[in-house]
Structure 1
Amino acid sequence: MTGQRETDRLGALADAGVSIWLDDLSRERLRSGNLQSLITDHHVVGVTTNPTIFAGALAHGEAYDEQVRELAARGASVADAVREITVSDVQQACDVFRSTWEATNGVDGRVSLEVDPGLARDTDGTVAQALDLWKAVDRPNLLVKIPATQEGLPAITQALAEGVSVNVTLIFSVERYQAVMEAYLAGLERASANGHQLGSIASVASFFVSRVDTEIDKRLEAIGTDEALALRGKAGVANSRLAYAAFQEVFTGKRWAQLSAQGARVQRPLWASTGVKNPDYPDTLYVTELVVADTVNTMPEKTMDAFADHGEVHGDRVTGLAGQAQEEFDGLAQVGVDLPDVFVVLEDEGVDKFEKSWAELGETVRSQLDQAR
């Protein structure tokens, strides 16, 4: 970092081309002005949400009490109450970020809302809910989150074809990421054929980082050889660097050039799950080592605060490092890590975790509605 930015480490990160998004949202953040202060002081230009985040928000504090009482009074179902509460929070956040969205010409200022994770294996159900959420929130800076399951891929294409902006979530492997980019390009081509202005459609591809290390480190430790143990903590960053190389290849090709000429936006890689799970690793690892322009890093506030305190920007840490990353991945296979199985396990666990959080959210709302009645 240059000396003049020593006290503004997040500012240096933003200057390097990384869009800083907060991986959290609650009505308390909205009402207290906390979200606005993060925009003002921490260079935050977007927000991501997921079922776990909403479940936590609903379970704590009193910010939702008034709305819950109103929902209870008119006999709203649990499903309708969950939808109205989450849509309301996301609408308010979209409004907070509206000026950012305008100032960045729609690149940032984005807020994500996920379809019911129980639909992760249901293409038609996912499309129907994506369209419903898009209409319900009714904000141009919304991103509807759709998981990158096999069933999610055609849903991504169809939602984009209808003009819906999409955050593709739960991407773990480069192979699946390539399929996501294909789904994006196909969606834009269909959107164009449907008469949509491509410049009004946005998308990010959420590539998960720390969970890859958690799963692979567990397997390396079970193998237990010196060669295996030496590879701990490297897979998450290496996987992301390989993903970025795939991104560069797709978004410099002829097919993309034709869409770009129609005003289409690049589907930026978003580094997700960037909170460090292993306390032995630097708490800013998945920020510092993934600095590269035209990406998003969505962080828990704890990670954001850590970077503001002692994070470092050492320039582009991604471009040109795919060869080294591939060597590290080859090493994992050589010591006996079953990488295809790793990615199947991570996707299944990711879907399962969000389904459980969604159920927890529903139970919390059910309990609150019962109390209000």
Structure 2
Amino acid sequence: MRLRTLLRVATALLAARFALAAAPAPAQLQCAVDGEWLCHKTEDGLHPDGLEQALVWRMNRARQDPPAEGAFLAAIDDPATVDAIEFYGVDLDALQDEFAAIAPKPPAAFDRRLYAAALGHAELMIGEDDDDPDCGEAEQPPCQLERVGPAGFFFVSGGLRGNAFGFGLSPLFTHASWNVDWGPFFNPVVPPGMFPGRVHRKGVMSDPDEVADEVLTNVGVAAVSTEGRDTDLGPVVYVANYANANTAVADHHDRFVVGTVWQDLDADGAYDPDEGRGGVTVTATPGALFATTAPGGGYAIPIAAPGAVEVAFEGGGVPSFAASVEVAGESVLVDYALPEPGALASALAALLALGGVRRAR
């Protein structure tokens, strides 16, 4: 996203700063049917997929502990990401100092309406073969954030911003491009190497500024492959919309239990796109709603009232698991990380060995 687009977005958002900012929407879909919260994944059940959930997982982990995120980014060893950091001359000490000053924020829940708006912009980018396509003027298609209201999502003033990246080599590379916020190429701002205002990082971390000062509690991330498409973008185009919901409107919430069911297959301590577990039923008690994890393993359940909540996981081919958490005024992150295959095999072997000893007695 070039500076021209950032200025256009900032101007549009500031103009709506003192009003509820949502365009008239089509007939509202029903997010809760027979007790199941449906808006945490698309109607066809295919999204968020592994690529999209990887960005959601990294975002929510980063928000929990900003100083740790700064240290992670400064020490990252992904070759493509390291090359970009070195190319832009990112000051890694300054990067860590900046993350140390960011307050922790609650996780964001995936929302299909924000996803639909993000998907529309990703398709525009690919169709126009432009990381920053012309939009928003007369006889032009709507820009990224102008798509949110028509997609059916109502947000409050100061509660919307977005990121877009046309050259996503991987979820990790894309996450780092936004959260390191490297660029632009000619950057006179000190410290060097990071985008003025860190405008992309603001969305990922829900770090308030004059564009969005509300906590960004909902997110829609679209990852669109450019394989076989007539474009120089890619290999994947990523677009993310971050929002604070207008809870006066039905099926809009700002407090969830949210997380990912996943198995660390490569034992690297981080979620990868093929590690999510879909089809797991997640319940939150007390409460009237449940969710079924998307293919990427993500889920979200609105919580109506503060208090102790038991989050239970079952089905989908995973061992049953439950965790008790205290939910106050903000969303709470509850991941279910299955044992990695090697650890599970070792545990089973130990149990069998113990059983053999006991039988021998």
TM-score range, shorter chain: under 0.3
Q: Select the structure that is richer in helix.
A: 1
Scaled by the length of structure 1, the TM-score of the pair is 0.21
Q: Select the structure that is richer in strand.
A: 2
